[in-house]
Amino acid sequence: MPSSRSVPTVRKATLPDFVLRQFDRGSPEYDHRQLYTILQTGIRDAVLAAGSRLPPTRLLAQALGIARNTVVHVYEQLALEGYVQAGVGRGTFVADLGPRLARPPLPVTAGAATAGRSTLSRRGAQLVQAAGAASLQWGAFTPGVPEVRLFPSAVWSRLQARMWRSAQPQQLSYATGAGEPSLRQALAEYLQGTRGVACTAEQIVITSGTQQSLHLVAQLLADPGDSLWLEDPGYWGARSVFRAMGLKLVPVAVDAEGMAPSAHQLRTPPRAMFVSPSHQYPTGAIMSHGRRQQLLDYAAVHGVWVVEDDYDSEFRYGARPLPALQGLDTHGRVIYLGTFSKTLFPALRLAYLVLPPDLVAGFTRALNELYREGQTPQQLVLARFMAEGHYTSHIRRMRSVYGARHDALIHAIRHHFGDALPVIGGDAGLHLVLGLPPGLDDQAVVERIARAKVMARPLSLYHMQQPARARGLLLGYGAVQEDEVAANFARLAHAVQHFL
Ligand SMILES: Cc1ncc(COP(=O)(O)O)c(C=O)c1O
């Protein structure tokens, strides 16, 4: 039953009445899903006329009693799907969908040609609907974001100025190879020395982010319909890329030793598997030596590609980082993925693949063909940054900064919850998981936390399989200063208490 509400502080005339009438705070459906469906149906059925203005996000959020971010997210999704148009500073307006869409809705399963509800293809609509990226990427406790304020920008700009003085014309044109040779060389030395990766510079291909590396892997090593094992819970970014490339996703459970395929799953070898053995995302499990060997043996026998995502293992508090899976591989089955997003800053958009030697030429050709890569100036600066030792000193410094923030967060958790809520996987990286009781709606918890101006992500979002969904909060400590952890966590804890 829709709940009756009073909206004393909001000018009712600016709000579409039917939204208020239909929105049900007591509904088990997630707020964003509910609001999206109400607005999308209203536009599709022409209840909201083309050209009419949607209420400002703040007003609508206030009227419905939900987080403003939720409304922003819904408007963004409607804009992506062509239902509304947003003009900077002008507001959001219902798009003119044409007479075609005034007809009754067509079945969603009918495919791109008949899916009149959206301007997107079936694949596009699925991608947008299942998208996992958060619309906020900074602030306490945004997961996976490093402390960008401590990046040594003075050193970087000095190296950048030097690079510009000596840049050659071809370095400012389209790139034609696998990346700047000096960067590939510096990386090979770094990876051999610190991550146990067995490689030469020639095996490295520079990309503009892990997402792009994954696209290349999917396009070059699999065909639509091929099956791919994914850790469940796992990284939504990988899931989205592989799904969009038409692969058949097979969720594989994760235990304390990492990805744990069942006997049944082992009977049908996939084309590839995607794993994060050094620091499973998001649970933090470290793949045991035995499990590594089992998966590598299996991959060698069945010709399976092993895609290893090593995204943040530089930051480990206590034990030494475990060497990469790639270093144990004697059959050339492992594709190793690394990124500078966590060690430096995400907006740099530089990452890399380490490939078995016979794949390098094909990947390089495809990189140039599909993306016409460049960013050579950034790569030149980064190569010098590494060669002069700034990279390793920055990592060393940040390890101790994050270690202190990690301890402050654990302290705050214990202060508010004692041992009532478990901390999962807090020994490495930039985030930990605060476990919540089974069955609790962690998405609702996150929405309430957002109203307290703190960021968290629901653990359930990282699961593919409904019954297995664990509940919890991913909390990042990269983007919050040590002395701000306690106050921010107190607000978060207050919001969580409401549900316990
Ligand atoms: C599991 C995992 N792998 C890799 C990345 C890095 O992605 P990118 O290099 O595209 O920034 C992230 C970023 O959030 C991540 O969470």
pLDDT, one tens digit per residue, over 85-140 is: 877 677 888 888 776 444 444 444 444 444 445 589 888 888 888 888 888 889 99
Residue 9: phi and psi, rounded to 5, are: -90, 0
Is 309's C-beta closer than 6 angstroms to any atom of ligand 1?
Answer: yes
Would you say the CB of residue 207 lies under 6 angstroms from ligand 1?
Answer: no
CB 242 within 8 A of CB 249: yes
Cα atoms in the 13 Å half-sphere on the side-chain side of 436: 27
pLDDT tens for 417-463 read 999 999 998 789 999 999 999 989 999 999 999 999 999 999 999 99
Does residue 477 have its Cβ closer than 6 Å to ligand 1? no
Domain borders along the chain are 12-129, 153-388, 393-497
The verdict on the CB of residue 137 being under 6 Å from ligand 1 is no
Query: Ligand 1 in contact with 351 (CB < 6 A)?
Result: yes
**Model confidence over 137-193: pLDDT tens digits?**
899 999 999 999 999 999 999 999 999 999 999 999 999 999 999 999 999 999 999
Q: Which one, of 49, 316, 60, 352, lies nearest residue 184 by Cα?
A: 352
Which pTM does this prediction carry?
0.78
Condensed to tens digits (0 to 9), the pLDDT of residues 367-382 reads: 999 998 889 999 999 9
Classify domain 153-388 by CATH number. Answer: 3.40.640.10
pLDDT computed for residue 99 by the predictor: 61
Q: Are 457 and 466 in contact (CB under 8 A)?
A: no
| Interatomic CA distance for residues 33 and 178, integer angstroms | 42
Residue nearest to atom 12 of ligand 1 (CA): 311
Closest residue CA from atom 4 of ligand 1: 311
Hey, what are 165's tokens?
Answer: 């003085």
CATH architecture of 393-497: Alpha-Beta Complex (3.90)
Q: What is the pLDDT of residues 181-229, one digit of tens each?
A: 999 999 999 999 999 999 999 999 999 999 999 999 999 999 999 999 9
Between CA 357 and CA 355 the distance in angstroms is: 6
Nearest protein Cα to ligand 1, atom 7: 210
Q: Is 23 in the pocket of ligand 1 (CB under 6 A)?
A: no
Q: How far is CA 394 from CA 152, 160, 161, 400, 439, in A?
A: 8, 17, 20, 10, 42
Residue minimizing CA distance to atom 3 of ligand 1: 311
Does the Cβ of 339 fall within 6 Å of ligand 1? yes
pLDDT digits (tens, 9 = 90+) for 44-96: 877 788 888 888 888 888 888 888 888 888 888 888 778 888 776 778 888 88
> In angstroms, how far is the first alpha carbon of the chain from the final one?
25
Alpha helices in 90-225 (DSSP H): 122-129, 153-166, 181-195, 210-221
Which ligand 1 atom minimizes the distance to the CA of 234? 1
- The CB of 402 under 6 Å from ligand 1? The reply is no
> What would the CATH number be for the domain defined by 12-129?
1.10.10.10
Give the mean pLDDT of 248-268: 96
Q: Tell me the pLDDT tens digit for each residue of 295-313.
A: 999 999 999 999 999 999 8
Distance, C-alpha 107 to centroid of its chain: 31
